[in-house]
Amino acid sequence: MSCDPMLTGMLYQVQINEVDNSNSYSYTFLGMVTKSPDTFTLPNTFFSPHPAALCVTPVCVCIFGDTKREEWSVLDELAAGSKVGLAVDTDRSLHLYVDGKHQGVVAPDIPTPCYFMFDLYSRCTKVTALPVTSVP
């Protein structure tokens, strides 16, 4: 999780350093939470909908406890060296980026403050948090 709230027009991302291809589940979870890391207790995984979290997976988006079926299969294709991230625009929409390329709007009306999070799950075994940059 990011320590500081996400800023508008900034890209928050991680680079995937290691993957375990022996695992048949390839889900990658990333998103944001509305509670400060100082007051938020992390669950074991964000696989289940959480009332304080928005989570993007290859097959759905869990938005604050509600699950919406949506294809983000680009997350299934991540490999060692891939970069994945999120950005909030001035209209408070959340955007997904993979390897610096815009993949689309994940959700509108993102509350403030919000904190970037990435859930190490299944095949993804090691990541590096990258410096926050302006949206490309």
Take residue 110 and report the two structure tokens written for it: 């993102």
Contact 12, 94 (CB under 8 A): no
Q: What percent of the chain has pLDDT over 70?
A: 88
Residue 122 has pLDDT above 70, yes or no: no
User: What is the spatial distance between Cα 44 and Cα 120, in angstroms, rounded to a whole number?
Assistant: 10
Report pLDDT for 95: 95
CA 112, CA 89: separation in Å to the nearest integer? 12
* Structural contact between residues 86 and 110, judged by C-beta atoms closer than 8 angstroms: no
33-47, 67-81, 91-105: least confidently modelled range: 33-47
The HSE-up count of residue 41 (CA atoms within 13 Å, CB side) is 0
Better-scored residue on pLDDT, 35 or 70: 35
pLDDT of residue 130: 95
Distance of CA 43 to the CA centre of its chain: 15
As a whole number of angstroms, the distance between CA 59 and CA 63 comes to 13
Ranges of each domain in the chain: 10-134
Q: What is the pLDDT of residues 55-73, one digit of tens each?
A: 887 777 888 777 777 777 8
Query: Average pLDDT for residues 32-56, to the nearest whole number?
Result: 74
Greater confidence (88 vs 120) lies with: 88
CATH of domain 10-134: 2.60.120.920
d(CA 115, CA 128): 17
pLDDT digits (tens, 9 = 90+) for 78-100: 889 999 999 999 999 999 999 99
